[in-house]
């Protein structure tokens, strides 16, 4: 079982955005030392709770501080970029860090109408994503209408970040798929992934590959892990109430605030559904998830306010899976 991390450069109350980005780079260094398979970063635009909107730039910094671990995007939002520009960015990363670079691709247009307007992309035709994926793969393989530079000896593997119909696109194009979200362990998702493997059309010798992305928080005991998972659950619940995804807050600060009933219900549901607990409990949850989905890789997207506790969680997760 391959084990990887996805870090979204979460901002923290009372700290600068620069501190969040520095924490991402430091976490990548620790992840390589712990033996993680890959480390991915994300693209989110104009979100108060997330500092990085430029995966290629952040990956260049991470690549310069690490040596062996695969690095990549989880993901680049393809509708917001021209395929040639994406190909040039990731071929440059591949030239700098040969054999280490992954390109995960999603199709989100941004969280809010003002962000979508600022990005000059307020709608999309689903077929555009398929066409752009096809064009991008040709550019990366050197078979496109133009030659993207720099030319590299190695390939940059593409992965599709998907839910439901996106999984079908990945199968049709013969690409690995990354799935996440609340429904990742559901029977419906298990059927979707079975269909992915059944309908997969190999391209350039590719084989079906499924990565499951979810928050995984490990601590000495279940109660401590649940507290560590609280800041992310609180931020998610509050974003649905306010329309703005906020920075992470300390647990004590969250506990001292008023909890509207709707927010409390959302937080409790989020924590109940999270993979958060002591090592034995987390291992059991992950084993059941892998058995249900047939996942080839687990990618933990964990965030919490306490950076030291997050580092400890990463180490404990690696130890229990190893």
**Cα separation, 45 vs 67, whole angstroms:** 29
> How large is the average pLDDT for residues 5-32?
97
pTM for the model stands at: 0.95
> How large is the average pLDDT for residues 168-177?
96
> How large is the average pLDDT for residues 161-187?
89
| pLDDT at residue number 125 | 78
pLDDT at 181 over 90: no
> How large is the average pLDDT for residues 68-75?
96
* φ/ψ (deg, to 5) at 214: -165, 160
Share of the chain above pLDDT 90, in %: 82
**Cα separation, 58 vs 96, whole angstroms:** 13
- Torsion, CA 193, CA 79, CA 70, CA 57, rounded to 10: -160
* φ/ψ (deg, to 5) at 48: -55, -30
| pLDDT at residue number 164 | 66
Share of the chain above pLDDT 70, in %: 100
The pLDDT confidence band at residue 43, using thresholds 50, 70 and 90, is very high
Q: Are 278 and 233 contacting, i.e. CB atoms less than 8 angstroms apart?
A: no
In CATH terms, 2-217+276-321 corresponds, of 3.30.70.20, 3.40.1280.10, 3.40.1370.10, 3.20.20.30, to 3.20.20.30
Peptide bond into 150 cis (omega under 30): yes
The domain locations on the chain are 2-217+276-321
| pLDDT at residue number 29 | 98
**Burial of 13 per CB tally in 10 Å (0-12, 13-18, 19+):** middle
- Written as six digits, the tokens of 164 are 């439901």
How long, in residues, is the chain?
322
pLDDT at 126 over 80: no
| pLDDT at residue number 40 | 98
- Written as six digits, the tokens of 318 are 């690696």
| pLDDT at residue number 183 | 83
In the numeric block, the tokens 């690549």 are attached to: 63
The pLDDT confidence band at residue 100, using thresholds 50, 70 and 90, is very high
Q: Average per-residue pLDDT in the chain?
A: 94
**How does pLDDT run across 203-257, given as a tens digit for each residue?**
988 999 999 999 999 999 999 999 999 999 999 999 888 778 899 999 999 999 9
The pLDDT confidence band at residue 129, using thresholds 50, 70 and 90, is very high
């Amino acid at each position: 079982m391959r084990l990887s991390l996805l870090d979204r450069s979460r901002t923290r109350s009372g700290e600068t955005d620069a501190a969040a980005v520095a924490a991402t780079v430091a976490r990548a260094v620790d992840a390589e030392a712990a033996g993680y398979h890959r480390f991915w970063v994300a693209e989110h635009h104009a979100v108060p709770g997330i500092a990085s909107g430029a995966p290629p730039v952040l990956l260049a910094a991470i690549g310069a501080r690490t040596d062996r671990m695969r690095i990549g995007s989880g993901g680049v939002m393809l509708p917001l970029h021209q395929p040639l520009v994406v190909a040039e960015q990731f071929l440059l990363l591949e030239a700098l860090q040969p054999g280490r670079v992954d390109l995960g691709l999603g199709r989100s247009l941004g969280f809010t109408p003002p962000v979508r307007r600022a990005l000059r992309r307020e709608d999309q035709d689903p077929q555009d994503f398929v066409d752009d994926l096809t064009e991008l793969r040709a550019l990366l393989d050197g078979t496109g209408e133009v030659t993207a530079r720099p030319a590299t000896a190695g390939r940059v593997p593409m992965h599709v970040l998907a839910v439901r119909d996106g999984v079908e696109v990945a199968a049709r194009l013969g690409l690995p798929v990354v799935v996440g979200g609340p429904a990742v362990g559901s029977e419906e998702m298990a059927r979707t992934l079975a269909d992915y493997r059944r309908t997969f059309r190999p391209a350039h010798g590719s084989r079906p590959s499924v990565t499951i992305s979810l928050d995984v928080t490990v601590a000495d005991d279940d109660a401590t892990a649940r507290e560590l998972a609280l800041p992310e659950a609180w931020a998610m619940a509050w974003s649905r109430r306010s329309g703005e995804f906020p920075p992470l807050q300390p647990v004590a600060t969250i506990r001292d605030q008023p909890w509207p009933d709707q927010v409390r219900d959302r937080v409790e549901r989020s924590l109940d559904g999270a993979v958060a607990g002591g090592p034995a409990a987390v291992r059991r949850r992950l084993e059941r998830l892998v058995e249900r989905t047939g996942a080839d890789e687990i990618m933990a997207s964990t965030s919490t306010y306490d950076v030291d506790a997050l580092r400890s969680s990463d180490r404990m997760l690696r130890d229990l899976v190893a």
